[in-house]
Amino acid sequence: MQNTGGADLDERYRKGFPVSWEQFHRDSRALAWRLAEKGPFKAVVAITRGGLVPAAIVARELEIRVIETVCIASYDYGRQGELKVLKPVGETFAENGGEGVLVVDDLVDTGRTARVVREMLPRAHLATVYAKPAGVPLVDTFVTEVSQDTWIYLPWDMALQFVPPFIQQGQP
């Protein structure tokens, strides 16, 4: 599969699933609706960067005011790379294994990121908007399952076509 920007996606992705801002907002609210009966949660931990938007929506819907991030890099557009923990979760959130903490991400693909977060917060509730079969066993709640060979085009990566981050275009 080739993206519209000219770079080839990892060959294991044969299908594309474009998600608009409106759809992502609806799906994130649906995630919050499913999570409402699983709480209460004392805090939300967003897995950056993909988990920032759904975490904000979920936190709003569940009226959770305490929000933290765990920063993990694993993707370069279209390809999974080396997993790097750029910023671990704060010690306060890791107390008691993360009990009462809700961890939110946009999707679980192979489960590599989810495994790292599970090691940090084994008692936290891990939720994603989208899930692929390899990652499903690692999350507690998700909204939509897509096939493993599908690349999800998330709205912040899209215009009418793929737009690389400004920094890669030599723009401020």
For 20-54, what is each residue's pLDDT tens digit? 999 999 999 999 999 999 999 999 999 999 999 99
CATH ID of 15-161, from 3.40.50.2020, 3.30.420.480, 3.30.420.40, 3.40.50.720: 3.40.50.2020
The catalytic residue positions are 105-106, 109
Please write the tens of the pLDDT for every residue from 12-22.
788 899 999 99
Q: What is the DSSP string of 95-141?
A: GGGGTTEEEEEEEESSSHHHHHHHHH-TTSEEEEEEE-TTTGGG-SE
| SS3 (DSSP) at 26 | helix
- Domain extents for the chain? 15-161
Report how far residue 147's alpha carbon sits from residue 109's, in angstroms, rounded to the nearest whole number.
10
pTM: 0.84
Report how far residue 150's alpha carbon sits from residue 81's, in angstroms, rounded to the nearest whole number.
17
Roughly how many angstroms between the first and final C-alpha of the chain, as a whole number?
30
Q: What is the pLDDT of residue 129?
A: 98
Q: Tell me how far CA of residue 52 lies from CA of 7, 73, 96, 134, 135, in angstroms.
A: 26, 13, 24, 22, 19
Please write the tens of the pLDDT for every residue from 74-114.
766 555 668 899 999 999 999 999 999 999 999 999 999 99
Mean pLDDT for the chain? 89
